[in-house]
Amino acid sequence: MASRGNADCNVGYYGVGIEDYLDEAGNMKAPLMLHIAEEDYLVPKLAQEKVKDELKNNQFVTIYTYPNVDHAFARADGKNYHEEYATLSQERSKSFLEKHLY
């Protein structure tokens, strides 16, 4: 998560295991954008809800969820590729990075 290191901002896709590090969220010093596939077989619904609930009031965090898609929905050559959501998440990430890096 964005609680370690000195990056100017952070973008994460899928968020595998983030629920195990939520106790570090108070240490965040830089913006974080997360893209979560709602049907991700590697991130159970309970874990997704925990992440969203714990981070919803964190000033540094922006979370986007994508319904009816699985892990790796943004990987162009992957079996779970979803063109619409991949494009949307990339546009969101690009805007976020431009805002925080330039």
**Residue from 35, 40, 70, 82 carrying the catalytic annotation:** 40
What is the rounded CA–CA span in Å between residue 55 and residue 91?
A: 22
The 10 Å Cβ neighbour count of residue 22 is: 16
Instruction: State yes or no: is 71 an active-site residue.
Output: yes
Instruction: State yes or no: is 70 an active-site residue.
Output: no
**Residue from 8, 23, 35, 71 carrying the catalytic annotation:** 71
* Catalytic residue set: 40, 71
